[in-house]
Chains A and B, each alone.
Chain A
């Protein structure tokens, strides 16, 4: 049974259809990417999932059924818009929010102490939240998301405002959570992070699901009929190659429909071309994203 399931969800605000018949599932123990351009309906989909908004139609299932008050204690949510009490100390703020997730104040105090050490925030525990930098607040928000050891983490733009060191720390942390069997639904614009972390993804545009599946499967789906060749020698014209495009020291060879990549490799070897790299051309997620959201029917 999937940890999260959205089935034909539609949600409108006045004339605007924020989510339009969207369906996807998130399996237990995976990191799932929820992607889409600004205003695509990602946040609305998450809010519907969390029962903050009621859908106009469709059904949701989370941790095996409809959202309940008890399930809130098993979900860690870090929204897009960061939210911490600004006028109280960091430690007090985190303890209060942790108690709302079912921890006793003593448990919350103990766990927060360890997390503050891990996140390098221990010396700032008595500072008011508003006195912390954006990156520090981001880390505090992550502590708030993880403190009650949730089964499901829903996290929106987890890397925004973080320096490379902290970005790496958060990535390691998310991988660590996945290894523990925690399911992670991550919404982000940073495609290289999705490529690094996510097992599967869904791309939403104008409220509709336009891409959905495993990362490799989607890449294959969008890989054109081409190969990438890196060579110090100039490439001659080859049989079965429609055209050659140069890209940063490598060449993209677009193949004719009935040409297989092995034939091209054989032709290069036969011509004694020194080959440094030969691979099936695979688009980056960035390219796929731009391709999907800018095509006319998208």
Chain B
């Protein structure tokens, strides 16, 4: 048992304290920061802060109410009153304002206003004028009613069993399972790459012979696989901390982040699926490392293993449109495609309990089978320097007699 622990610790520290791991670790928070920065930049670019003008013949805007301030990253657009259309037109031509509204005397009855522009103003400026107009139209209403109307409506769509919910304010929650799945699978892909590389390196630099005469193949493989899983969980833990920090800070500035509710059910499902997926993938990568001749070949072949795991991501449109279609259900039950399909489906549909149970059991059995396969491939292939181990040798009766 002690030797397993030494292998585990060696595998973990060897990778976690390497520059490439720190790079992978920081890539997600940097990506999130970059995306938030881009959102701010794009929205900021969309807001033209050149004043908007208005000529108010109705007197509504003279009631003195102000609109609620725009939410970040929108910037406030100044509103400038003109006495008549000639003055407003002169200001428009001079470029002092980006457009002007003419509110007719009978606006309260007709609801019609005129917008005059040279280049059509973008929505943030128009929206802020509508808010100003609305605030003044509601000037006679009790404050709480005015505030509620200004807040607008929020249509909530909820599944029959109340397990799924989406609304204008909470739209991002639909995408949360998808992002969760992608982040989990990204963690699996990167960490299993480390294990593949470690096994191939031990073959290439001939350390393997020393290892197997010091520790049993079982303890060696268990230490390596669990070390690899610990690396992946470390990665996920650090990413989660950065994501939570990002949401906590971001919700002060971004409306769509305010509506986020942590999908605990989906997270629990993800954890139940991800653990056997981690083990399955790590064991398969160890088996692969034992069968290939060098790390380049290993990287190429590992792509084939990762392809089905990423396949649901490529079929995202199908999963969103028909989350309970036969093909999507089949992908939910097939161990290689199940993790991402299940997690993504959870955002768009209510998954029957039997499918969840089947998927977790199938994945767990595949993980156990992968460990068996890894042990067999390892025993047969560990000392095949420069010579590829064929899969039929692994499955051949008596093949473990290396």
Cβ-defined contact, B207 with A53, below 8 A: no
Among B14, B205, B400, find the residue whose CB has the most chain A CB atoms closer than 10 A: B205
Bound CA–CA A85/B201 (angstroms):
8
CB closest residue in chain A, given B383: A52
Name the one of B14, B206, B400 contacting A83, with C-beta atoms under 8 angstroms. Answer: B206
CB closest residue in chain A, given B203: A83
Cβ-defined contact, A77 with B213, below 8 A: yes
Among A52, A82, A144, find the residue whose CB has the most chain B CB atoms closer than 10 A: A52
Given A54-B401, A88-B14, A100-B7, CB of A83 within 8 Å of CB of B214: no
Bound CA–CA A101/B213 (angstroms):
9
Instruction: With both chains docked as a complex, state the minimum distance between the C-beta of B6 and any C-beta of chain A, in angstroms.
Output: 5
Interface string of A85-117 (1 = CB under 8 A from B): 110100000001101111000000000000000
Q: Is A47 an interface residue (CB 8 A)?
A: yes
Q: Is B63 an interface residue (CB 8 A)?
A: no
Bound CA–CA A144/B207 (angstroms):
12
Name the one of A75, A82, A96, A102 contacting B213, with C-beta atoms under 8 angstroms. Answer: A75
Instruction: With both chains docked as a complex, state the minimum distance between the C-beta of B177 and any C-beta of chain A, in angstroms.
Output: 38
B residues in contact with A144, CB < 8 Å: 210
Given A99-B6, A101-B214, CB of A85 within 8 Å of CB of B402: no
Instruction: With both chains docked as a complex, state the minimum distance between the C-beta of A65 and any C-beta of chain B, in angstroms.
Output: 17
Bound CA–CA A53/B213 (angstroms):
11
A residues in contact with B214, CB < 8 Å: 72-73, 97, 100-101
Tell me the A42-94 residues at the B interface (CB within 8 Å). 47, 50, 52-54, 56, 69, 72-73, 75, 77, 79, 81-86, 88
Given A52-B383, A96-B10, CB of A83 within 8 Å of CB of B213: no
Name the one of B205, B209, B211, B383 contacting A100, with C-beta atoms under 8 angstroms. Answer: B211
Bound CA–CA A83/B201 (angstroms):
10
A residues in contact with B311, CB < 8 Å: none
Name the one of B3, B6, B205, B209 contacting A85, with C-beta atoms under 8 angstroms. Answer: B205
Instruction: With both chains docked as a complex, state the minimum distance between the C-beta of B290 and any C-beta of chain A, in angstroms.
Output: 13
Cβ-defined contact, A84 with B207, below 8 A: yes
CB closest residue in chain A, given B402: A53
Cβ-defined contact, B401 with A79, below 8 A: no
Given A53-B402, A77-B213, A101-B214, CB of A96 within 8 Å of CB of B6: yes
Residues of B in contact with A, size category: 20 to 34
Residues of A in contact with B, size category: 20 to 34
Tell me the A107-132 residues at the B interface (CB within 8 Å). none
Instruction: With both chains docked as a complex, state the minimum distance between the C-beta of B204 and any C-beta of chain A, in angstroms.
Output: 9
Bound CA–CA A54/B379 (angstroms):
10
Cβ-defined contact, A79 with B210, below 8 A: yes
A residues in contact with B205, CB < 8 Å: 83-86
CB closest residue in chain B, given A104: B2
Instruction: With both chains docked as a complex, state the minimum distance between the C-beta of A235 and any C-beta of chain B, in angstroms.
Output: 54
Which DSSP category, helix, strand, loop or mixed, fits chain A's interface?
A: loop
B residues in contact with A52, CB < 8 Å: 209, 212-213, 383, 402
Name the one of A56, A83, A102 contacting B208, with C-beta atoms under 8 angstroms. Answer: A83
Tell me the B1-59 residues at the A interface (CB within 8 Å). 2-3, 6-7, 10, 14
Among A56, A81, A88, find the residue whose CB has the most chain B CB atoms closer than 10 A: A81
B residues in contact with A53, CB < 8 Å: 401-402
Cβ-defined contact, B215 with A79, below 8 A: no
Tell me the B176-209 residues at the A interface (CB within 8 Å). 201-202, 205-209
Q: Is B385 an interface residue (CB 8 A)?
A: yes
CB closest residue in chain A, given B382: A52
CB closest residue in chain A, given B213: A77
Q: Is B216 an interface residue (CB 8 A)?
A: yes
Bound CA–CA A2/B358 (angstroms):
56
A residues in contact with B215, CB < 8 Å: 69, 72, 100
Among A47, A56, A83, A84, find the residue whose CB has the most chain B CB atoms closer than 10 A: A83
A residues in contact with B216, CB < 8 Å: 69
Instruction: With both chains docked as a complex, state the minimum distance between the C-beta of B196 and any C-beta of chain A, in angstroms.
Output: 16
Tell me the B335-352 residues at the A interface (CB within 8 Å). none
Among B2, B209, B211, B401, find the residue whose CB has the most chain A CB atoms closer than 10 A: B209
Cβ-defined contact, B207 with A50, below 8 A: no
Cβ-defined contact, A83 with B210, below 8 A: yes
Cβ-defined contact, B210 with A77, below 8 A: yes
Bound CA–CA A267/B255 (angstroms):
117
A residues in contact with B209, CB < 8 Å: 52, 77, 79, 81, 83
Bound CA–CA A106/B61 (angstroms):
82
Bound CA–CA A96/B11 (angstroms):
11
Given A52-B402, A81-B385, A100-B3, CB of A72 within 8 Å of CB of B213: yes
Bound CA–CA A82/B14 (angstroms):
21
Bound CA–CA A73/B214 (angstroms):
7
Cβ-defined contact, B6 with A100, below 8 A: yes
CB closest residue in chain A, given B198: A85
Bound CA–CA A56/B214 (angstroms):
23
Instruction: With both chains docked as a complex, state the minimum distance between the C-beta of A191 and any C-beta of chain B, in angstroms.
Output: 25
Cβ-defined contact, A85 with B207, below 8 A: yes
Bound CA–CA A97/B207 (angstroms):
10
Cβ-defined contact, B206 with A82, below 8 A: yes
CB closest residue in chain A, given B18: A87
Instruction: With both chains docked as a complex, state the minimum distance between the C-beta of A173 and any C-beta of chain B, in angstroms.
Output: 19
Cβ-defined contact, B207 with A83, below 8 A: yes
Bound CA–CA A84/B202 (angstroms):
8
29 examples of A-B residue contacts, CB within 8 angstroms:
A52-B209, A52-B212, A52-B383, A52-B402, A53-B402, A54-B400, A54-B401, A54-B402, A69-B216, A73-B214, A75-B213, A77-B210, A77-B213, A79-B206, A79-B210, A81-B209, A81-B385, A82-B206, A83-B202, A83-B206, A84-B205, A86-B201, A88-B14, A97-B214, A99-B6, A100-B214, A100-B215, A102-B2, A144-B210
Residues of A within 8 A of B (CB): 47, 50, 52-54, 56, 69, 72-73, 75, 77, 79, 81-86, 88, 96-97, 99-102, 144
Known pairs A53-B401, A83-B206 / 19 extra A-B pairs, C-beta < 8 Å: A52-B209, A52-B383, A52-B402, A53-B402, A54-B401, A54-B402, A56-B401, A77-B213, A79-B206, A79-B209, A82-B206, A83-B209, A83-B210, A84-B210, A88-B14, A97-B210, A100-B3, A100-B215, A102-B3
The 5 closest A-B pairs by CB, nearest first: A83-B206, A81-B206, A83-B207, A100-B214, A79-B209
